[in-house]
Chain A
Amino acid sequence: MSELSVVGRRLPKVNSWQHLTGAARYADDVVLPRMLYGRLLRSTHPHARIRAIDTSAALAHPGVVAVVTGRDMPEKMGIMPSTQDETALAVDRVRYVGEPVAGVAAVDEDTAFEALSLIRVDYEPLEPIFTIEEALERDDVRIHDESRRANVFKEVHLAFGDLDGGFASADHVREDWTFFEGNTHAPIETHSAVASYGGDDKLTLWTCTQVPHYLHRELEKVLGISRARIRVIATPNGGAFGGKSDPFAHEFAACLLSMRTRRPVKITLDREEVFYAHRGRHPVLMHLRTGVRRDGEITACHLQTWLDGGAYASYGIATTYYTGALLTVTYRMPAYKFDGVRVYTNKPPCGPKRGHGTTQPRFAFETQLDKIAHDLGLDPLEYRMRILQPPGSRTVNGLRITSMGLGQCLEAAGRATRFSERHGQLPRGKGIGVAGSAYISGAGLPIYWNDMPHSAATVKIDRGGGVTVYCGTSEIGQGSDHMLATVVAEVLGVLPEDVHVVSGDTALAPVDLGSYSSRVTFMAGNATKEAACRLREQLFAVASEKLEVPTDRLAAAFRRVYDARDPGKGMSFVEAANLAEARYGVLSAGGSYRPPKGIGGDYKGAGVGPTPAYSYQAAVAEVSVDVETGTVTVDRITTAHDCGRALNPVNVEGQIEGSAYMGYGEIIGEEQVFRAGLHKKPSLLDYKLPTSLDTPALEAIVIETVDAEGPFGGKEAGDGPLNPVIPAIANAVYDAIGVRFDETPITPDKVLAALGKRDKRGEPKERVGPDGLGSTGKRDPKAALRRLTFGTEAREKKRDATTGALVESAPGGPGPEPGTPPVGSR
């Protein structure tokens, strides 16, 4: 790619205009003739058996057309095929307040709302489980009967390299407990779906989903009709951030109600319901033990994570692995051990939010690195620069690293903020902090096992020079439609505005696995590029003959095909297309992409972590702390991000800035918290999305390392830039007031308490955070912990310590053994 005509230019997104004129048709904007309006009845209990549901009064209510309950579609479903533990609507049992129990369709939404209060549900309350500690300990209360031990959903143990030797050779070992509070995506668009089952026995579902293909599969399973007769159309998502990547109750309910009534049915969630649908950031308790040499070189690292998963699996198995998988890709780490446990609790299910599972351990790790730098008297930025994992390498857990720009990111962010001359030098109340991070450009494996491509696209050229690209990607605001248009336009030598994009429609477009894990630019970009290159070969073949120029001298740009050595010699794109169509027939080609083999390890559990390319990023945060009110103001966040190559710099900067904003929100005030299972803040007034008057000045610096396998060198930009912002702010707060925040969010009350400025006298504290498993809950978890630790160690004896291996938790699990030390004791 010596010259690029479209890639890298600051062009408006091809789909901007419909957003800016009000013409974009989001799911709730879809209106069909004879359409009914649905609402869902939700559980008022955190944990209860459903004895009976009486829908007769609701059905008799004037204007109500149909009512469905869980028994009408009892098939188990869930996004991960190996852990399907949900039903579309609750059957027999509810497991969190807000869980959908029944659906009503009526002539209008007012009537549907009224009808909900006429449905009688007879609940038998069960004892609920709310904390990680209770979940581990309470063998007698099972949220899911299938759990092998207490309420453990998943347990993971991996070890790589010589951990004991690593710690033994360390000059300094740090151990820190860290807690990351749960939070949620809160896209401004609430979830919405319109289902229409027609006289042709075909079902069409318009829905704001990130994963039309996975939803397609689950609809077939739950509704019991062939996927061949179902069409899922992903409408433009009004924000998603991971929150629209599960199959949801309202989608199934709308479909079934439409099948029952033979009328279109729309269900749009209200804001409160979105907090119950959730699938957001897991609360994670972490223990991190890291050994370093005197110069800071890491010798060994042991991470333990406990994830509060809420009531169902969602992506939880992947989330659990992700809390451990990516800790190794940023800095050299010769020995690494990871133990992860995800438990069920009676709260809305957690799932993937921007940075999926990597955000929490990154917070723990980067705040700990700041402490290590402090302990060793090192500049925290220069320190990180010295211990970088090299490009073109393998990590200790077998992950292949290709392009790696963390060093450039740290350097650029440091230079832009004069970090090293200001860190430790600012007046009390002012602080500056830094952190680094990495993320995947899509997962190396699909969520269900198959050998098919992760992404495919077809491209068609019409006789007037119009180009259409078809791809199953979902446009969630990240700019994927524009990315597809950009890639096609670059290859074929037209402009993005000449390209029609058909995306997210399972009937029209080839499968793309979905807009999650930052996979679209890399995977759909490569698939689309391959399709477009096939068409370009045909164009060049005919142009070569006509122009009498060898094909390898031809170029295509600005709607022309021409001789690269003599650009005056050429023909229009339309002429080339017409010649090609005369020669080859219809101008249509497909392309597909599957990540290469061998990019991860070959142990069990190696499926999570590999990616064709990692993005890297560094953030510097500047803060002011009002020591009298406890208010933390973040003045500026500077993020440098290695995206390989910016296919559209405007969009890349937008992702970097938006990620910084979202990370800022997570550490300053957003929290998904509960009182006795009831969400404390299910509204946009109480759940604190930062406003324009709160959000710091945001600086985005684009670093291009031009990845050899990425489309035109591109890698991801949508998730990674969130991760470093959170620890950078915590590190800056330490620089400002000398208090370590080992938990999120950093609220004024915690700041005041740490400074000893509450009214009920307190001593100043050096840190705010958990002291172990149990400090976040009421019960003494020691017994459960001993059981868990014993189980872990018993299994480890069977494991080959040099290669690392995953051993699934044994059924039943061994009992407690006296004398086994609790996790985290020194």
Chain B
Amino acid sequence: MTKELLSLSVNGERHTVAAEPHHTLLEVLREELGLTGTKHGCELGECGACTVLVDGEPVLSCLTLPAQVRDREVTTVEGLATGERLHPLQTAFAEEGAAQCGYCTPGMLMSAKALLDRNARPSREEIAAAIAGNLCRCTGYTAIYEAVEKASARV
């Protein structure tokens, strides 16, 4: 049980944290940085709940070691809004009922943000492909498509 210091850039802030070397980015975000917005549903890469962005690309924080993102920028759901301004995805998800229980939502938002950042006007097929690594058990995905489409019109 020896922790090691590591430096991480998360949501635009530089953090120095002490963490055990075998702890994943997911565990460090939640347990060392208190960023519990990132969720976990399997810890094996089989659900997508723990999705965060690394340099803008969605990855599974449960299968990532902090060492892998040492010199890169990590974005979590807590970093989606800008100051007091919510991201259009957040507003659209609320309006369309795209978050029911809300548990897959942080990961889903991250995948959707990565999509809109590279493709501002995605088709429904492209949205479905972009969130194909995020299981949602509540919505049947329909409201999520509608929300992403709505947000895309506002970005």
Q: Chain A: residues with CB nearer than 8 A to chain B?
A: 10, 12-13, 16-26, 28-29, 31, 63, 108, 110-111, 185-190, 236-241, 270-271, 476-479, 650-651, 653-654, 657-658, 660-662, 683-685, 689, 691-693, 695, 697-698, 700
From B41, which residue of chain A is reached at the shortest CB distance?
A188
B101 adjacent to A188 (CB under 8 Å): yes
In the complex, given contacts A271-B44, A685-B44, what are 12 additional A-B residue pairs having Cβ atoms less than 8 angstroms apart?
Answer: A12-B95, A18-B102, A20-B94, A26-B39, A28-B40, A477-B101, A477-B103, A478-B100, A650-B97, A654-B139, A684-B44, A698-B142
Using known A-B contacts A21-B37, A684-B135, A698-B140, determine if residue A16 contacts B43 with beta carbons closer than 8 Å: no
Count of chain B residues with a beta carbon within 8 Å of a chain A beta carbon:
56
**Chain A residues, CB < 8 A from B86:** 20-21
Min CB gap A274→B, angstroms:
9
Question: B109 contacts which chain A residues (CB < 8 A)?
Answer: 20
- How many pairs of residues, A versus B, come closer than 8 Å at their CB atoms? 174
Given A16-B94, A21-B37, A26-B39: A188 and B137 interface contact (C-beta under 8 Å) = yes
Report chain A residues within 8 Å CB of B100: 239, 477-479, 654, 658
Please indicate the chain A residues that have their CB under 8 angstroms from the CB of B137 in the complex: 185-188, 239, 241, 658, 662, 689
A685 to B109, CA, bound (A): 22
Whether B138 and A654, one on each chain, are in contact in the complex, defined by CB atoms closer than 8 angstroms, is yes
**CB-CB < 8 A to B44: which residues of A?**
271, 683-685
Can you list, as one digit per residue, whether each of B8-36 has a CB less than 8 Å from chain A (1) or not (0)?
Answer: 00000000000010100000001000111
Please report the C-alpha to C-alpha distance between residue A685 and residue B46 in the assembled complex, in whole angstroms. Answer: 6
Q: Give me the 6 closest cross-chain CB pairs, A-B, nearest first.
A: A22-B37, A477-B101, A19-B102, A238-B103, A661-B140, A12-B94
B residues within 8 A CB of A695? 140-141
Contact of B81 (CB < 8 Å), options: A13, A21, A189, A684: A21
Whether A238 contacts B96 by the Cβ 8 Å rule is no
Establish whether residues A21 and B80, one from each chain, have CB atoms under 8 Å apart when the complex forms: yes
Question: Given A13-B94, A20-B105, do A658 and B139 touch, yes or no (CB 8 Å)?
Answer: yes
Instruction: Check A108 against B99 for contact (C-beta < 8 Å).
Output: no
B54 an interface residue at 8 Å Cβ cutoff? no
Tell me how far the C-beta of A711 lies from the nearest C-beta in chain B, rounded to whole angstroms: 20
In the bound complex, CA of A23 to CA of B102 (Å) = 10
Contact of A24 with B1 in the complex, beta carbons under 8 Å = no
Query: Can you offer 16 A-B residue contacts whose CB atoms are under 8 A?
Result: A17-B90, A21-B77, A22-B36, A22-B38, A24-B102, A28-B40, A31-B36, A188-B135, A239-B100, A239-B137, A270-B43, A476-B101, A477-B100, A692-B129, A693-B129, A693-B132
| A25 touching B101 in the complex, CB below 8 Å, given contacts A16-B94, A241-B137 | no
CA distance A18 to B76 in the complex (A): 14
**In whole angstroms, what is the CA distance A653 to B140 when docked?**
11
CB < 8 Å neighbour of A188 from B20, B43, B95, B104: B104
Q: Is B128 an interface residue (CB 8 A)?
A: yes
- Note all chain B residues with C-beta closer than 8 A to A650: 95-97, 143
Check B37 against A188 for contact (C-beta < 8 Å).
no
Say if the beta carbon of B117 comes within 8 Å of chain A: no
Nearest residue (CB) in B for A62 is: B1
CB of B42 within 8 A of chain A? yes
Q: Which residue of B lies closest to A654 (CB)?
A: B97
